[in-house]
Amino acid sequence: MKRRSRRSWRRLADAGFQTYLLRRLDIMNPKLIAIGCLTALLGCGFQGKLLDASAVSMTHSSLEPDETLKETGEIAEEFCPSPLAVDRYTGALDGAIAQAQKKSGADFITNASFFRNANGCIHVTGTANKIEKRATVP
Amino acid sequence: MRTRELSTLALSALGLLSSCTSHNYAQNVKTIAFDANVTKGTPLGPIRGEDCTWTVLGVTLGARPTIMQAFVNAKEQSGAVASAGFGFISKQTGNEVRYINNATTGSDGFNAYLLAKECFVVTGLGYR
Taking residues A36-44, report their average pLDDT. 50
- State yes or no: pLDDT of B106 exceeds 50: yes
B10: in domain: no
Contact A62 B20 (CB under 8 A): no
Contact B27 A51 (CB under 8 A): no
Residues A27 and A82 in one domain: no
Contact A91 B25 (CB under 8 A): yes
Question: What confidence score (pLDDT) does residue A26 get?
Answer: 58
Q: Quickly list H helices, chain B.
A: 3-19, 67-76, 80-83
CA distance B121 to B71: 8
CA distance A131 to A110: 12
DSSP sequence for A16-44? HHHHHHHHHH-TT-HHHHHHHHHHHHHHT
Question: What confidence score (pLDDT) does residue A65 get?
Answer: 92
Residue A53 with chain B: CB contacts under 8 Å: 32-34, 71
- Count of domains in chain A? 2
Residue A69 near residue A56 (C-beta atoms within 8 A): no
A120: in domain: yes
A1: in domain: no
Model confidence band, residue A66 (pLDDT cutoffs 50, 70, 90):
very high
Question: What confidence score (pLDDT) does residue B37 get?
Answer: 92
B18: in domain: no
pLDDT digits (tens, 9 = 90+) for B44-100: 999 999 999 999 998 999 888 999 999 999 998 876 555 555 554 445 556 789 999
Residue span of the structural domain in which B30 resides:
23-127
> Could you tell me if B93 lies within 8 Å of chain A, comparing CB atoms?
no
Residues A73 and A126 in one domain: yes
Question: What confidence score (pLDDT) does residue A45 get?
Answer: 55
B98: in domain: yes
Residue span of the structural domain in which A125 resides:
47-133
CA distance A125 to A119: 17
Residue B20 near residue A44 (C-beta atoms within 8 A): yes
**Residue A38 CB: number of other CB atoms within 10 A?**
12
Residues A126 and A74 in one domain: yes
Residue A54 near residue B35 (C-beta atoms within 8 A): yes
Residues A128 and A88 in one domain: yes
Residues A22 and A52 in one domain: no
Contact A97 B36 (CB under 8 A): no
Q: Quickly list H helices, A2-132.
A: 6-25, 30-43, 92-104
Residues A10 and A66 in one domain: no
Residue B36 with chain A: CB contacts under 8 Å: 54-55, 110
HSE of A124, CA atoms in CB hemisphere, 13 A? 29
Any idea what the CATH number is for the domain that residue A105 is in?
3.30.110
- Among A62-66, A84-88, A104-108, B61-65, the range scoring the smallest mean pLDDT is A84-88
CA distance A92 to B29: 10
B73: in domain: yes
Nearest by CB to residue A39, choosing from B15, B33, B68, is B15
Residues A58 and A125 in one domain: yes
- Count of domains in chain B? 1
Instruction: Please state whether A97 falls in left (phi above 0), alpha (psi between -120 and 50) or beta.
Output: alpha
Residues A18 and A65 in one domain: no
ipTM: 0.76
Residues A124 and A70 in one domain: yes
Mutate to test the interface with B, among A57, A86, A122 (most CBs of B within 10 A): A57
> Could you tell me if A29 lies within 8 Å of chain B, comparing CB atoms?
yes
